[in-house]
Amino acid sequence: MTKPSALDRATQQHQWRWGRAELFSRAPGRVNLIGEHTDYNDGFVLPMALPFDTAIAASRAPNGSKTEILSEGFGHAVLAPASTEIESHHWAVYLHGVHDLLKAEGVDPGPWKATIATDIPAGAGLSSSAALEVAVASAILGFAQTERSPAETARLCQRVDNEMVGIPSGPMDQMISASAVAGHASLIDCRSLQTRPHPLPERSVVAIMDTNTRRQLVDSEYSERRAACVRAAEAMGVDSLRDARLEDLDLLPTELGTERRRAHHVITENQRTLDAAQAMSDGDPETLGALMNSSHESLRDDYEVSGPALDQIVEIARQSPGCFGARLTGGGFAGCAVALVQADQAVEFQARVAQRYRTAQGLDAQIWLCEPAAGASVTTADA
Ligand code: GLA
């Protein structure tokens, strides 16, 4: 028997707890093909949505009742009218944050009950929290019958991360979850949030390789990287590293050696990302794969956000037949890597990488072969 989807489970569990759901929203996780640690530098990214969703089934509640959420795996939370005291590390902060920010903008559909389920592995770097934010925003906007562009939704959800959770992340995760086009990755300009969809090169497949490692303290490393980028941009006299050129690195004094390497990564990664989008337009998986390989080296050596398990699985992937290129994906340190693989070799690739990684690292890697999925959507029971 196949496992019911997140949306089916949320709908069923809602029925058990609160009765028939009237509104359904879903938002996908993401994998980034290239353009890492560029989004908070106003740069370019090239992610795609995954066929794994966070889903919400919801129904209106009578005026005066509480807005409540039931989450498969996490339990129950009350959003309103009472609980202003949710801590930043509590799962419900994402819901609470979206709810409060929309309310502050005048979007308040009154009390509702919601049931949440997800198929996105948590903590793997596949943006389960961004998908949760976007799914909640879509549900609230659906109840309020209010339209927002994907870019507006993404910026609002990014504020939850930045202002409420305390992670100074960029807009990539929320933007791809809100706006993805099925069958395509999207080149996103993180300054304007303009997107351009690009189909994967023919006869190629994306493999996501979860190293099955997780790392604490990633948040402080992330904030520290971002701060180094700000210092580098200031020292070069530009608003953000998006505006810096390679020759501007010479403006950095020698004592800013770390900042120089961080900026070198960002400047070259922006160019690689634009080149990768061009390679996709040209239907050229070899060039795309080579750019992914260079991205990994730059993240490992200049940005210093790789780790032993990520380096290992990337190396194993690259040595496997049919691999065009591989790199760590997302924030780094642990979690997932991504590879572009020749479609007719993908199943053997999956088995071979898992087996070699187990031998080398003593851990079981999860490897998914994915087609790019569509971004968030919302429907009603009578639609
Ligand atoms: C995390 C953040 C994103 C982005 C990536 C690195 O996933 O949430 O905004 O900065 O790291 O590219």
Q: Is the pTM of this model over 0.85?
A: yes
Here the tokens at position 337 are: 């890597």
Q: What is the pLDDT of residue 83?
A: 52
Q: Which of 34, 37, 128, 176 to mutate to test the pocket of ligand 1 (most atoms within 8 A of CB)?
A: 37
Provide the pLDDT confidence category of residue 140 given band limits of 50, 70 and 90. Answer: very high
In this predicted structure, what is the pLDDT of residue 349? 98
Count CB-CB contacts under 10 A for residue 355: 12
Q: Which residues line ligand 1 (CB under 6 A)?
A: 36-37, 39-40, 169-170, 172-173, 330-331
Cα distance between residue 250 and residue 266, in whole Å: 15
Distance 192 CA to ligand 1 centre (A): 17
327: tokens are 């790199």
Hey, which of 173, 176, 336 would you mutate to test ligand 1's pocket, going by the most ligand atoms within 8 Å of its Cβ? 173
In this predicted structure, what is the pLDDT of residue 1?
63
CA distances (Å), origin 19, targets 22, 26, 69, 84, 116: 10, 19, 14, 27, 14
Q: Alpha-carbon distance 45 to 187, whole Å?
A: 6
Q: pLDDT band for position 77 (50/70/90)? A: confident
For 259, the 3-state DSSP assignment is helix
210 Cα: distance to centroid of ligand 1 (angstroms)? 17
* Mean pLDDT computed over 351-365: 97
Pick the atom of ligand 1 nearest to 170's CA. 9
**pLDDT for res 209:** 98
Q: Quickly count: other Cβ atoms within 10 Å of residue 189's Cβ.
A: 15
Distance CA 9, CA 2 (A): 12
pLDDT given at position 99: 93
pLDDT at 89: 62
pLDDT tens, residue by residue, 150-193: 999 999 999 999 999 889 999 999 999 999 999 999 999 999 99
pLDDT at 32 > cutoff 60: yes
Mean pLDDT across the chain: 95
- The CA 329 to ligand 1 mean position distance, Å, reads 9
Provide the sign of the torsion angle of the four alpha carbons 176, 180, 183, 189, taken in this order: negative
Residue 87 has pLDDT above 70, yes or no: no
Per-residue pLDDT at 313: 98
Which ligand 1 atom is at minimum distance from the Cα of 171? 9
Q: Which residues are catalytic?
A: 173
Q: Are strands 23-32 and 47-60 parallel, antiparallel or unpaired?
A: antiparallel
Q: Which atom of ligand 1 sits closest to the CA of residue 169?
A: 9
Res 82 pLDDT > 60: no
**How much is the pLDDT for 79?**
79
Q: Compute, in angstroms, the gap from residue 169 CA to the centroid of ligand 1.
A: 6
Model confidence at 361, pLDDT cuts 50, 70, 90, reads very high
Instruction: Please provide residue 284's backbone torsions phi and psi, each rounded to the nearest 5 degrees.
Output: -120, 90
The pLDDT score that the predictor gives to residue 75 is 84
Q: Which two tokens stand for residue 289?
A: 């794969």
Q: What is the spatial distance between Cα 225 and Cα 229, in angstroms, rounded to a whole number? A: 6
* Residue 321 burial (CB count, 10 A): 10
pLDDT, tens digit, for every residue of 293-305? 999 999 999 999 9
Residue 12, SS3 per DSSP = helix
CA distance 213 to 321: 25
Ligand 1 atom with the smallest distance to the CA of 172 is 9
Tell how far the Cα of 101 is from the centroid of ligand 1, in angstroms. 22
In which band, very low, low, confident or very high, does the pLDDT at 200 lie, cut at 50, 70 and 90?
A: very high
Which residue has a Cα nearest atom 8 of ligand 1?
A: 169
Closest atom of ligand 1 to 40 CA is 10
Find the mean pLDDT for residues 14-25.
Answer: 97
CA-proximal residue: ligand 1, atom 2 (nearest): 169
* Confidence at residue 78, expressed as pLDDT on a 0 to 100 scale: 84
CA 39 / ligand 1 centre spacing (Å): 7
Which has the closest alpha carbon to 79: 88, 89, 92?
92
Q: 85 pLDDT band (50/70/90 cuts)?
A: low
Percent of the chain's residues with pLDDT above 90: 89
Q: Model confidence over 264-286: pLDDT tens digits?
A: 999 999 999 999 999 999 999 99
Q: What is the pLDDT of residue 369?
A: 98
Is 356's pLDDT higher than 80? yes
Residue where the block lists tokens 């028997």: 1
